[in-house]
Amino acid sequence: MEPLLEVKNITKRFGGLTAVDDVSLQIYPGEVIGILGDNGAGKSTLIKVISGVHHAEAGQIFFKGQRIKINSTMEALRIGIETIYQDLALAENMDVYSNIFLGREKLRKFLGLVDVLDHEYMQSESKKVLKRLEIEIPSLKNKIRNLSGGQRQAVAISRSIYWNAKLLIMDEPTAALGVPEQKKVLNLVKTLSSQGVSIIIISHQLHDVFAVATRLIIMRRAQKVAERITKKTSADEVVSLIVGSLPGDYN
């Protein structure tokens, strides 16, 4: 099978500091992979290169076998790479469906003259995508401010999915959540993967990553030090790789 996304030998420097050093990885359709590493290991920089925030000095990116250049976040979105950052980027003063359609509002003609918001369409479409992802939210007219952390996460995810995300990058998706909420988000990740969406998860919480990811990529000091099939490794081995008490595979 052809990988959905393949990055080859990516290097990113900030002045004299090498944040990502010659890292390669692939992700297949519907696959969930985890990127693990300590603070400053280069995880965030790596995904920012993929999502178009940073521009790599060296290396190539292939999407469905095609060589692509991602020069901006807008370009990444157009290709189908959506990133959900820790802050979720939701307008808390607005309701659920307005957030799903923020920046891409559906309009209709009022009296055949002026473009106005088509609330009904946006509501029914939002309802559909929430249903598809088995997300329960009391009402689409609820302001984000009134939702729990997990529900907000779900809204952010539904927005990406509605706009046809093929690859979803999630930065610490469960960091700010209570235990039951964490479970819901992880279930959502599984649902998405079963519907063919590829997902990259960055997390400090090994437990979460072990629960959903099939493959793990471990980074230390800007380099990829190991890659493991989740079923064939253990938390102990991964921690040792993260902190460097076990030598990696590539050095």
Residues that bind other proteins (CB under 8 A): 73-74, 77, 87-95, 98-99, 102-105, 107, 110, 114-117, 138-139, 141-143, 145-146
Q: Estimate to the nearest angstrom the gap between the alpha carbon of 167 and the chain centroid.
A: 7
* Whole-Å CA distances, 93 to 38, 105, 110, 145: 35, 17, 25, 6
Q: Which is nearer to other proteins, 116 or 243 (CB)?
A: 116
- Torsion angles phi and psi, residue 152, rounded to 5: -65, -45
The smaller minimum CB distance to other proteins, of residues 164 and 234, is found at 164
To the nearest whole angstrom, how small is the minimum distance from the Cβ of residue 105 to other proteins? Answer: 5
In whole angstroms, how close is the CB of 139 to other proteins at the nearest point? 4
Least CB distance to other proteins at residue 29 (A):
26
Question: Which residue lies nearer to other proteins by CB, 136 or 232?
Answer: 136
Beta carbon nearer to other proteins, 89 or 243: 89
Minimum gap (Å) between residue 200 Cβ and other proteins: 18
Cα 80 to Cα 77: distance, rounded to the nearest angstrom? 5
Least CB distance from residue 214 to other proteins, whole Å? 29
Cβ-based nearer residue to other proteins, 88 or 199: 88
In whole angstroms, what is the distance from residue 228 CA to residue 236 CA?
13
- Say if CB 241 and CB 224 are below 8 A apart: no
Q: Is 134 helix (H, G, I), strand (E, B) or coil?
A: coil
Q: How far is the CB of 84 from other proteins (least distance, A)?
A: 11
Helix extents (H) in 9-117: 43-50, 73-79, 96-100
42/221 Cα distance (integer angstroms): 7
* Cα separation, 148 vs 203, whole angstroms: 20
Smaller CB distance to other proteins: residue 88 or 157?
Answer: 88
